[in-house]
Structure 1
């Protein structure tokens, strides 16, 4: 079943064409690696997927409803974006990890938080750590934990392991694969060739703002 659909979507900024006439059906449960040269429009494509930016032309639908018709906050609970440069806020790690509960008016689930710390092989002492004291790799993992506190329908990942060492990259890859196996659809921008074909069932290649190919890697 198609969960996200681009129909003749183009995006321009300051008169410059970034993406041109994209047509793609993303199926529920897909794990799509997105590759292509720098400047080919990969990050722009992800931002269109959860309406961080709006298309200049064409339509994007999520669960058969135009993406612009959704409340942006509610949409981004279901289509979650994790940036290449992590954006943490507040003073402490806990300020970030409690945020997904607050916007859903739910009580903070410490068991869930501790479970994610164990998945990421991070010490629970980080919960009280000040954001300013974190390394780039630690910030990225905390940002991922915040995004995964509630499993989204679609997870958008933009070069999220670029600041991680090989050990932590492997941990993140395994976590994302597990999330996908549990039902979340994954769209992952990566420059790592090995990573792009490791778990993905499809490989989307963008060049010069256009879809060069959508290759099926694994048949479900």
Structure 2
């Protein structure tokens, strides 16, 4: 269920680099409890848009408001705790899965609760012994799931997902979809999800398709 006030309000955001338009101007709103599925051809700027919304990349033009405040006025660390970006190919830290799931706790100067970490793993069809597994031993699908769980140790208000099921089989895709659907309903989480999966697209209530940018649509500021 959505409310009238958006969590994120994207107004005329675009991005160019070396005269090349990577993201044509776009405006959108994302509300609490809403899932917006983002699709479109490779090169249309989907990942660029999510990185801009996550404050990982500065737009060439336009503004983004979080709870009605321009995000350039917010502390990046606090903002990124509330607007969490999950990479398609996550960068994992340390030596083990435990190191990654414990990281959000340590950042907040809290002691990781092992039983909560095990419960997290179970929610995406990973077993408790996975906690001690070396990062280099993980498959692509396992890395995607660990990266997602790292983002969910402390619930953000907005979750930005960049093709997080691309390396998963159908059973594990279903587990991720079930998990995200539950978080949306139970926590009023707002989710923007890049996907090319036909089934995920067909089941989404709200889909935004990006087209390839026409060169010259956005320009570097003078």
Structure 1 residue 66 and structure 2 residue 73: aligned? Answer: no
Provide, for residues 160-198 of structure 1, a one-character-per-residue CA deviation record: whole Å limited to 9, x for no partner.
Answer: 111111111111111011111121101000001211232
CA RMSD of aligned residues (A): 1.3
- Residue in 2 that maps onto 1:218: none
Structure 1 residue 80 and structure 2 residue 81: aligned? Answer: no
Describe the SS at the equivalent of 1:10: strand
Counterpart selection for 2:173 from 139, 150, 169: 169
Deviation at 1:201, TM superposition (A): 2.9
Describe the SS at the equivalent of 1:160: coil
Distance in 1, Cα, partners of 2:84 & 2:141: 20
Provide, for residues 43-95 of structure 1, a one-character-per-residue CA deviation record: whole Å limited to 9, x for no partner.
Answer: 01100111110111111111111111222121111111111112111111111
Aligned partners of 2:118 and 2:127 also within 8 Å = no
Distance in 1, Cα, partners of 2:73 & 2:196: 33
Distance in 2, Cα, partners of 1:145 & 1:132: 18
Distance in 1, Cα, partners of 2:100 & 2:168: 20
Deviation at 1:113, TM superposition (A): 0.8
Counterpart selection for 1:112 from 113, 116, 135: 116
- Residue in 2 that maps onto 1:204: 208
- Of structures 1 and 2, the one with the larger relative CO (CA 8 A, separation 6+) is 2
Structure with bigger strand share is: 1
Matched ranges for 1:22-41 at <5 A: 22-41=26-45
Deviation at 1:207, TM superposition (A): 0.3
Distance in 2, Cα, partners of 1:128 & 1:99: 14
- Residue in 1 that maps onto 2:101: 97
- Residue in 2 that maps onto 1:189: 194
Unaligned runs of 5+ in 1: 211-220
Range with greater deviation from structure 2 (74-83 or 109-118): 109-118
Deviation at 1:121, TM superposition (A): 1.9
- Residue in 2 that maps onto 1:18: 22
Q: TM-score, normalised by structure 1?
A: 0.91
Distance in 1, Cα, partners of 2:46 & 2:64: 16
Range with greater deviation from structure 2 (135-144 or 21-30): 21-30
Deviation at 1:21, TM superposition (A): 2.2
Counterpart selection for 1:48 from 52, 68, 90: 52
Equivalenced residue count is 209
Aligned partners of 1:50 and 1:67 also within 8 Å = no
Distance in 2, Cα, partners of 1:128 & 1:74: 30
